[in-house]
């Protein structure tokens, strides 16, 4: 990684796609803060969302900015935060520079307006995230040696109480270590281990948000393995993989190959061993939690039900349909299986061309027999005994005549 010296910040900024418009439209002084500065100073690819801090009223500032950019303003009513969407895919978040005081560890802090950007930077998680670029003059503010730590590939907290006050930062540290291929410095790592019990005090929803952020990353299992090493999963009464496997890559690959449309967070949950009910505790949607829990429980049964069945299509479908919606995917991702491959590639899409209306036209009144006949027709179709609507209708007539 090459770093632009501080004097070149202006040039780095000019290279930020879509940011030029924002610079020209600024209604007053502001600071670019957070991940964008970190990424910019380490020449990582630009993102389309920018965080600005203003010393003063962020909502007013954002209102003027939106008007000048011809963008849309959204205000959050929370402490001085607003968002401006512009140019289709880009947005800027504007926040009032603030101080944070933690009256209780692991709870949300008391927030107050800061008198300077330096005060705002001092409340942040890591030195690499605690830099700012003043606008419009493009001056780098780096009170905590963020540039040096980017160069040395270090994740370092600003002060000793950082993880105790906000244990979500332990998850964040592991995320940055993996994403950027950095390492916590030894003291920060010790502080993270000492603060580990604090994660048990976090609300379920905050734990869920941290996990979901991990699942959006390229290598979630490496991050989980690191958190395991730090003792975080034990504090949460769950088990993260002790070493990265290729499970997530396989799940993502299958999800894509078979257009299953599952979000990464959903796939990610399949790599955590948790007691029944834990997903509920962290407020995961009931339907997803049920599917994930069923998958882990049912995998061995589905696998043994399918052993030696690769040539029996109707039996494959029947076995899969007896399980929850995620079980087949999870079972195949865990280990290759020819019957399940066949299910996803071929059998899952098999549909009858006749339905209950056709059976009614053949004289069968609404009754459980309708389902039975359709089931039998589907079984025959899966087994390759029926091709096309005419053959399905003929078979239906035969069955009704029995």
Chain positions contacting ligand CTP, by CB under 6 A: 34-35, 51, 124-125, 129-130, 166, 168-169, 172
Name the minimum Å distance from CB 131 to ligand CTP.
9
Name the minimum Å distance from CB 294 to ligand CTP.
32
Nearer Cβ to ligand CTP (122/260): 122
What is the distance between the alpha carbons of residues 114 and 128, in angstroms, rounded to a whole number?
20
Name the minimum Å distance from CB 338 to ligand CTP.
41
Name the minimum Å distance from CB 116 to ligand CTP.
16
Residue 229 exposure: Cα atoms within 13 Å on the Cβ side? 13
Nearer Cβ to ligand CTP (120/326): 120
Name the minimum Å distance from CB 49 to ligand CTP.
8
Nearer Cβ to ligand CTP (81/168): 168
Nearer Cβ to ligand CTP (97/272): 97
Nearer Cβ to ligand CTP (97/319): 97
Name the minimum Å distance from CB 171 to ligand CTP.
9
Nearer Cβ to ligand CTP (132/340): 132
């Amino acid at each position: 990684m090459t770093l632009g010296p501080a004097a070149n910040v202006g040039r780095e900024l000019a290279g930020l796609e879509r940011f030029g418009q924002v610079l020209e439209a600024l209604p007053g002084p502001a600071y670019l803060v957070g991940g964008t500065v970190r990424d910019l100073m380490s020449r990582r690819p630009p993102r389309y969302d920018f965080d600005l801090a203003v010393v003063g009223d962020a909502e007013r500032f954002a209102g003027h900015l939106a008007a000048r950019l011809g963008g849309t303003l959204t205000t959050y009513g929370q402490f001085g935060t607003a968002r401006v969407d512009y140019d289709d895919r880009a947005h800027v978040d504007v926040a009032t520079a603030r101080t944070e005081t933690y009256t209780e560890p692991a709870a949300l802090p008391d927030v107050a307006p800061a008198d300077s950007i330096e005060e705002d930077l001092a409340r942040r998680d890591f030195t690499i995230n605690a830099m700012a670029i003043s606008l419009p003059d493009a001056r780098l503010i780096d009170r905590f040696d963020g540039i040096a730590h980017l160069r040395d590939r270090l994740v370092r907290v600003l002060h000793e109480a950082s993880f105790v006050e906000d244990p979500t930062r332990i998850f964040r540290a592991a995320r940055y270590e993996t994403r950027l291929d950095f390492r916590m410095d030894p003291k920060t790592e010790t502080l993270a281990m000492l603060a580990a019990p604090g994660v048990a005090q976090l609300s379920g929803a905050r734990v869920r948000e941290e996990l979901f952020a991990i699942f959006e990353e390229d290598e979630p299992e490496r991050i989980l393995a690191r958190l395991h090493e730090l003792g975080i999963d034990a504090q949460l009464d769950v088990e993260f993989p002790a070493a990265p496997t290729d499970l997530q890559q396989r799940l993502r690959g299958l999800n894509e190959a078979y257009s299953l449309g599952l979000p990464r967070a959903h796939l990610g949950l399949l790599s955590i061993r948790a007691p029944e009910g834990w997903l509920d505790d962290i407020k995961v949607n009931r339907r997803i939690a049920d599917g994930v829990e069923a998958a882990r429980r049912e995998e061995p049964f589905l696998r043994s039900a399918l052993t030696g069945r690769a040539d029996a299509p109707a039996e494959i479908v029947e076995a899969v349909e007896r399980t929850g919606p995620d079980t087949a995917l999870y079972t195949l991702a865990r280990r290759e299986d020819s019957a399940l491959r066949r299910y996803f590639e071929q059998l899952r899409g098999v549909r009858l061309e006749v339905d209950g209306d056709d059976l009614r036209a053949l004289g069968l009144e609404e009754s459980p027999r309708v389902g039975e006949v359709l089931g039998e027709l589907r079984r025959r179709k899966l087994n390759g005994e029926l091709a096309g609507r005419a053959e399905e209708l003929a078979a239906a007539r035969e069955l009704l005549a029995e």
